[in-house]
Structure 1
Amino acid sequence: MIENLKNSENNKISENKNPKKPSIGFNPNWMYILFILLMLLLIVINPLVKTKEISWLKFEKTMLSTHDVAQIIVVNKEIAEIYIKSEKLNDPKYIEISKNALASKVGPHYTLQIGSVDSFEDKLQQAQQNFLQDEKVEVIYQNRADWTSVLTWLLPFGILILFWIFMFKGMGKSTIGSSVFNFGKTTAKLIDKDIKSKVTFKDVAGLREAKKEVEEIVDFLKNPETYTKLGAKIPKGVMLVGPTGTGKTLMAKAVAGEAKVPFFSLSGSEFVEMFVGVGASRVRDLFKQAKEKAPSIIFIDEIDAVGRTRSKANAFHANDERENTLNQLLTELDGFGTNTGVIVLAATNRADILDKALLRPGRFDRHIYLELPNKQERIEIFEVHLKPIKKSKNVDVDLLASLSPGFSGADIANICNEAALIAARKKKEHVDQEDFMEARDRVVGGLERKGKIISIAEKQIIANHEAGHAVVSWYLENVDSLVKVSIIPRGKSLGSAWYLPEEHQIITKPQFLDQICALLGGRAAEEIVFNEVSSGALDDLEKVTKQAYNMVAFYGLDEELGPLSFYDSTGENERFLGKPYSENMAKLIDKEVQDLITKSYKRAKNVLEEHKNELLLLAKLLLKKEVVYLEDLEKILGKRTKELPLNIKD
């Protein structure tokens, strides 16, 4: 089946190699332009031929009595158009008319409001009673359509119609097709054989397991007979799931570059519109085009925009556009029709809120999880992003990867770009190691604010606070290795202690307790040194409280509660205002959290009381240098029993 479809596709491409010359057809835009030009022409010409209106007295004494009038045309029994004899136009009293060449040749030269025809005829007969018969002025009566009033009446409607036409055309270019009647057409961008994606699997660093899964799908599209001869079926859907920045969209772009088949790319939000039925219609049109170009790939980014769980609360709604779109998508993925040769790729970082019917086998058969990269994968990602950067020889990629645990591929790309910007700002020829270190600090902690004005008293509190973090963490076994301590404001923080986090898949209870104790070291140091506390520990207290509640309510690490967990992986409890436990259990959880934090705070104070001299020395050094590195820390606090995984001193 796939081979036949590929042959038909090749025939279509061969036919398209000799395209016909485009015929010049009727373009409706010319009608709009012609209408606008006509209106402008009328506006311009009207003042040129506009005649001067005069009174009956002036007409009788200056024109009629001197036999200057050639003829009079009464229009619609309302206005009398007065034409002056051509030989009389040279008279000085008609100088205004002679200046306007068009008005002087064509006429009428003057207009007169007559009131009523009977009154006008009486006045004219009385004024010409002493005239000879051949001297009397000829009067002609005409009925004319007043185009000026008609255009004035039609103009607002014309402008309104043009506005709506151009608005719909503008919408069509961006969202719904080329005209107002293309609401239901898909907006997917097609990457065909002639339009090649520049991204390949070589540009996707790390993600080895995920790449193998996706490469197999690409190989299936290229060599289907290898799999079909064994009875294997191509997967209908592949769901890429992972945190933000891990490379889901990049993986899809690489598939487009490698597959050499038509690739339809769009976002989940493009299905949802304010018009009822548009989303479902676009889904149908998308799969119709994909089947026509099969074998092909459809990529839906951020599918959670349309694939959310269908809740019972929506049952009371008369019509839910998002739900109708999802139903149509489910039907296309696993309906009565066959989708042979069409693979659907989807990406999301919120798989927990997706509808179960969307994730079941037969629709999205394969789920590929893209986790945050480990150290080796971060090294590969750094090497990819360092290729276009002119770096110096002292750049240690292994060290950069070690100092960025928990960073995604997007974060690493941001660090490399920031380092290049910092080096360019310093007018350097190459990007050095210190530029990458500064870029890493900036991405993690924010921009340095050395110019921020801080009083001496506040600076002493900050120095002792950060020294407290450093001393407590130094003497606790399960806290990450300390790299440096700074009291230079960065981002929203006034000071910071920098650690080298180790990568853990699981965390034990002693590790939790030591981390909580280290976070409380800053507040404990303030109380010991100044015998009072400040608001500077807000961020520490927020982290401690969340971590303690996680220990007690989620991880089951509290002895009093036992192995209970109230964690909701489905996210369904978020819709309800109540908690998934009783009031008595809530009081017990609060009490255990409070006891846990209080004990950790007393423990931090005991550590600082025991090493108070080191605390004061480190605070004094911080006030002097503002930044204290590992070498100075070891001079004051001694050699730490827990060795660093690499040399950070350089």
Structure 2
Amino acid sequence: MNDTNEKKPESNNRPDPKLKNNKPRFSYYWIYALLAVLIIGLQLMNWNTTVKNIGWGELKEMILNQEIERLVLVNKEFAEVFIKKDKLALEKFKEVRPGEGFGSTRPQYVYNIGSVETFEKDVSDIQKDFEKPVYIENLTRRNVWGDALSWILPVLLLIGAWFFIMRMMSRGAGGGGQIFNIGKSKAQLFDKDTHVSINFNDVAGLEEAKVEIMEIVDFLKNPKKYTTLGGKIPKGALLVGPPGTGKTLLAKAVAGEAKVPFFSLSGSDFVEMFVGVGASRVRDLFKQAKEKAPCIIFIDEIDAIGRARGRNQITGANDERENTLNQLLTEMDGFATNAGVIILAATNRADILDRALLRAGRFDRQIHVELPDLEERKAIFKVHMKPLKFDESVGVDFLSKQTPGFSGADIANVCNEAALIAARRNKTEISKQDFMDAIDRIIGGLEKRNKIISPQEKKVIAFHEAGHAAVSWLLQYAHPLVKVTIVPRGKALGAAWYLPEERQITTYEQMFDELVATLGGRASEDVVFGKISTGALNDLEKVTKQAYAMVVYFGLNKEIGNVSYYDSTGQQEYSFSKPYSEATAQLIDTEIKKIIEQAYSRAKEILSENRDKLEELASILLKKEVIFREDLETIFGKRPFDESHEFNGQNGPSENAGQGSDSGIQPVEPQPAEPVQPDENQ
């Protein structure tokens, strides 16, 4: 009983692992400092502060007075003068009188000679009548430490510099960042001592992804539920999706929910300038994981090491990266088993990953994390608006309809930007207008009302944007306009916001109408002023890419036919040749130009028929600088193509808009109007 009671305090007083990092670390620089002090001390051992330099007159006087006991000529460079002990009591030798102990055998004076022969002759002439003359002693003295330092010190400096450089290069590596531990894994471990507080409740939307990922977590918590039926948990799951959709956040939620050791690292952590380090870190990572099984390994941005092997035909494959990938493939599903080790990985470039990495037995599941739809955006807004203080005018439904195409990261940015805008305006609560300004800020950039624009340029910009608005309003399949501004934002001199229907498939007519609406700005300049400007650079780039996709990828051209040259594997990136002949390339160029010219002629035709309404709209835009849907309805009348869409207010669709479909303001690339400098269009 006593033994038991004595052991309890020991178990309760075990050091907290979280406090390990608080101990002062030993610095190797102290060793370098001690060595330097030791070398300097040894050099000072032969130095005596009581030694005094004298001239020939003083030395001659001492010789004549027979006060010198010894006269030592050292290395034929200088003479050391030792005064007789009985003479040191004299007052004139008070300054050089030695003390007891260290330094008592040192010379009292030093005389720097010129010529050895002259010095010896002079001393001999002075003492020619003395009974007991002082004879000159010749001594060759070597400075051992000085000679040694002359070749040891440079070597020590080189070794020290090498160790310093290696420490800097390997800083942050496993095992304290030393050069000898550079092959250790750099994964960050989350366990019961350093657990993650995020769980699935913090991940809004992504319901389908969470269903699949929660099954892995459930297996780690209740393995018997699956093993009794003979089932095996997938060895790996790959999270694929655009940037900002929540792949890493989902992995954090897995770490918080699973309650098992969780190793987190990036694909670039395997990359190092030393050969073989990547493969060594993979081996060390899985060795640690096996010791803590069951556990989860999360590799973010796995495309850094998972790129398909043998892709680069110009310079050959990167052997170091391929060796790292080969080791990863072997560890995931090789000869040895990895029971209880589950791999999670995330990437937005799944098309370039090696096929061996995606096969069954390695990454058994590919979980697609797509951009959120209307309902998912509502859920994401609710999560990010929890810590915000906003008034009753702000509605989650309204905001979710204003942000189609926004990722979870974009929505988080909207909420944060709205709070900053409200604080800048000294408000106590965030209003609906603050959120709208935040959305405009993210889509179009910062307003630049101080930008100097001449009246003529401003007029061209107004007609350019009015052309976009008019054409999109009068076409059935074009996205209807919600808001147009001629206030410069970012690098653009004008911008437009549209209300699209989120389609899964698109027809030729829909794409063609979008081309016509995009070319409406340049067509407006041509119709009104009879000349065009560089302001349509962004428009031309957009229509060229879209027309190219229609002809080459989607098979929407009669001349080319039902042929697609799209390569989903991405191997054409490294190919010198095109997948079609020169004759086909010429035909493709002809058809692309034909489609764009047809769209441009259609835009000019629409604007010519509505010239008076176009000028009225441009004049309103010049006056207000910002116009909304209501201004277009006043001039053109109600749009007959979208009777199901009802709008309310000047900030976009009402909260009843888009019933049955995911509708909202679709941001487009800001449309630059005529600038003075060509680089303004970029």
Same fold by TM (over 0.5)? yes
What code does the residue aligned with 1:174 have?
A: G
Moved more, 427-436 or 301-310: 427-436
Question: In the alignment, is the contact (CA less than 8 A) between 1:303 and 1:348 conserved in 2?
Answer: yes
Tell me if 1:348 matches 2:360. no
Q: 2:504: which partner in 1?
A: 505
Number of positions where the alignment pairs a residue of Structure 1 with one of Structure 2: 634
Say which structure is richer in helix.
1
Query: Could you give the per-residue CA deviations for residues 144-183 of structure 1, whole angstroms, max 9, x where no partner exists?
Result: 5442343343322222222222332333332364322112
Pair 563,35 (structure 1): closer, same or farther in 2 beyond 3 Å: same
Q: 1:586: which partner in 2?
A: 585
Pair 453,26 (structure 1): closer, same or farther in 2 beyond 3 Å: closer
Instruction: Describe how 1:546-565 pairs up with structure 2 within 5 A.
Output: 546-565=545-564
What code does the residue aligned with 1:436 have?
A: F
* Offset of residue 354 of structure 1: 0.6
Query: Could you give the per-residue CA deviations for residues 590-648 of structure 1, whole angstroms, max 9, x where no partner exists?
Result: 11111111111111111111211111011111111111122223222222222435535
Pair 219,381 (structure 1): closer, same or farther in 2 beyond 3 Å: same
Tell me if 1:172 matches 2:173. no
Question: In the alignment, is the contact (CA less than 8 A) between 1:190 and 1:263 conserved in 2?
Answer: yes
Structure 1 counterpart SS, 2:260:
coil
Q: 1:161: which partner in 2?
A: 159
Q: 1:225: which partner in 2?
A: 224
CA distance in 2, matches of 1:320, 1:629: 58
Pair 30,616 (structure 1): closer, same or farther in 2 beyond 3 Å: same
Alignment gaps of 5+ in structure 2: 1-9, 652-682
Q: 2:529: which partner in 1?
A: 530
Question: In the alignment, is the contact (CA less than 8 A) between 2:73 and 2:136 conserved in 1?
Answer: no
CA distance in 2, matches of 1:428, 1:315: 59
Structure 1 counterpart SS, 2:366:
strand
Tell me if 1:395 matches 2:407. no
Pair 17,114 (structure 1): closer, same or farther in 2 beyond 3 Å: same
Q: 1:623: which partner in 2?
A: 622
Instruction: Describe how 1:167-316 pairs up with structure 2 within 5 A.
Output: 167-175=165-173, 177-178=175-176, 179-311=178-310
Q: 2:32: which partner in 1?
A: 32
Identical columns (%)? 55
Match of 1:147 among 138, 145, 148: 145
Moved more, 97-106 or 122-131: 97-106
Structure 2 counterpart SS, 1:275:
coil
What code does the residue aligned with 1:595 have?
A: K
Instruction: Describe how 1:67-106 pairs up with structure 2 within 5 A.
Output: 67-69=66-68, 71-75=70-74, 79-84=78-83
Moved more, 159-168 or 616-625: 159-168
Greater RCO, CA 8 A, separation 6+ = 2
Question: In the alignment, is the contact (CA less than 8 A) between 2:621 and 2:627 conserved in 1?
Answer: yes
Question: In the alignment, is the contact (CA less than 8 A) between 1:468 and 1:522 conserved in 2?
Answer: yes
Query: Could you give the per-residue CA deviations for residues 33-53 of structure 1, whole angstroms, max 9, x where no partner exists?
Result: 311333565789999849555
TM-score (norm 2): 0.85
CA distance in 1, matches of 2:398, 2:50: 85
Pair 393,159 (structure 1): closer, same or farther in 2 beyond 3 Å: farther
Q: 1:472: which partner in 2?
A: 471
CA distance in 1, matches of 2:89, 2:562: 112
CA distance in 1, matches of 2:274, 2:12: 36
Q: 1:647: which partner in 2?
A: 648
Tell me if 1:516 matches 2:543. no
Structure 2 counterpart SS, 1:174:
coil
Alignment RMSD, CA only? 3.4
CA distance in 1, matches of 2:535, 2:163: 59
Question: In the alignment, is the contact (CA less than 8 A) between 1:70 and 1:138 conserved in 2?
Answer: no
Q: 1:385: which partner in 2?
A: 384
What code does the residue aligned with 1:538 have?
A: L
What code does the residue aligned with 1:649 have?
A: Q
CA distance in 2, matches of 1:316, 1:590: 32
What code does the residue aligned with 1:386 have?
A: M
Structure 1 counterpart SS, 2:153:
helix
Structure 1 counterpart SS, 2:549:
helix
Structure 1 counterpart SS, 2:391:
coil
What code does the residue aligned with 1:229 have?
A: T
* Offset of residue 443 of structure 1: 0.9
Query: Could you give the per-residue CA deviations for residues 269-317 of structure 1, whole angstroms, max 9, x where no partner exists?
Result: 1212121111111111110110011111111111111111111767996
CA distance in 2, matches of 1:465, 1:364: 51
Question: In the alignment, is the contact (CA less than 8 A) between 2:358 and 2:364 conserved in 1?
Answer: yes
CA distance in 2, matches of 1:106, 1:446: 84
Alignment gaps of 5+ in structure 1: 1-13
